[in-house]
Structures are given as structure tokens and as C-alpha cells.
Amino acid sequence: MSNFRQDFIRFAVQQEVLRFGEFKTKAGRLSPYFFNAGLFNDGLALRSLSQFYAQAILTSGVPFDMLFGPAYKGIPLVAGTAIALVEQGRNVPYCYNRKEAKDHGEGGTTVGAPLQGCVLIIDDVISAGTSVRESIELIRATGAQPCGVVIALDRMERGQGELSATQEVQRNYGIPVVSIATLEDLLGYLHSEAGMVQNFPAVQTYRDRYGVKNE
């Protein structure tokens, strides 16, 4: 496990964004962990989170011309990631959408740079994939091309079928999904971290029961 992935898991635990216990998922499953990116809710946390996004993007090698953040959670994420990329020597434009089209002023459904070229979508997680689908449709409608999705944590968990939400996006749209960390990274962290190892058996059991292979 590369250092930035392990560092991200540790950071999420310290921020209490990643918690352990018993949590009911939208699918009705009892999960031994819960990840809520909305709890990265102060300036220092957002700066650190954005730096992790930038690191994941640059490590992935996915070519892109600009960033897009789906409203609402994607808005601070895309702005923060654009700033973090500048700090790494890469200045790119960014854009985000409105929930409702504006019919006065500059109008339109997006704010920021015009959508063009290869567009990388920045989001927190992929659950049902609705946000990604809407983003892809919006990007393609402008003549630009979605080239990938970047998320914070890939749960590597089966949906209604045998594929995870991440795998379904990759299959349905033919674009890569890059994550800062995955469930396998979380398991590696729990196994190696003395103060957290007690959570390893429950998470491993959940992975064995609901996880996908070859993520």
C-alpha cells in the first residue's frame, strides 16, 4: 500500500470521517464502518483532502484537460483539488453545475470554465452512480469528453448484481474510476495499526460477504 493511501485512511480516522461500529447502509446491510466525506468540514481538513485528491490524480496517470465537480459535494472538492494541483505544478480550469438552470445574469447550468476537452469528474463516493451519470450526460452535451472519475473511497462492494458501483461506471461509460483509497487499503491499515486492529475481523468478514473481486 503506497504511503499516501495509508496516510489518507489515517487522516479520515483522525477526522472521524471514517468510523467503526455498526451502520445500516442504503442497501440495508449492516456495515462495520461508515465513511462520510461531508465531515471534512473545516479549512485545514479540506486542504489536506484536496492534496490527497491531487496525489491520486497525478499517480493515476489519467490524461485530462480540466476538472468538473457535481453539485453539491463536488463543488468544494473540485475547487480544492484545482488549488492542490497548482501546488504540484499543474494549473487546470475547473467547473461545476447548478442544480437548477439560471435564466438571468450569465445564465446556464454550469459555473466556472467552459466544459471542453477531456474532463475529469471529482466526487466523494459512488453509490447508485446517479451523480456520475448526470455529470457525464452534461459534459457530453457540451461536446466535451468525460475521461475519468476520482473519488475518495471505493467500498469495493457489490450492488444489486455482481459488480460494484465503481465497476458499473467503468463498464457502462468506458472510463476509469480512480480512488484515493479502497476497502483493501482500509484492511491493510487496520491490520498494521496496533490501535485499530480490533476492527479488522469485522471489516474482513464484511468484505468476504459483500465484496467484489478484481476491482
- Based on the residue annotation, tell me whether 102 is a catalytic residue of this protein: yes
Phi first, then psi, for residue 26 (nearest 5°) are -60, -25
At residue 3 the predicted structure's pLDDT band, cuts being 50, 70 and 90, is confident
Catalytic residue among 24, 26, 73, 104: 104
pTM over 0.85: yes
At 101-130, the pLDDT tens digits run 655 445 578 999 999 999 999 999 987 678
- Residue 98 half-sphere exposure toward CB, CA atoms < 13 A: 11
In 76-144 the beta strands, taken as DSSP E runs, fall at: 94-102, 108-112, 118-122
- Structural domains of the chain, with CATH: 3-210 (3.40.50.2020)
Per-residue confidence (pLDDT) for residue 1, from 0 to 100: 44
CB atoms within 10 A of CB 102: 12
At 118-176, the pLDDT tens digits run 999 999 998 767 889 999 999 999 999 999 999 999 999 988 788 998 999 999 999 99
Mean pLDDT of the 6-16 span: 96
Residue type, 55: Q
- Angle between helix axes 43-60 and 74-87 (nearest 10 degrees) is 70
In DSSP terms, which residues pair with 149 in a beta bridge?
A: 121, 177
CA 207 → CA 65, 142, 161, 212, distances in Å?
36, 40, 16, 8
- Based on the residue annotation, tell me whether 104 is a catalytic residue of this protein: yes
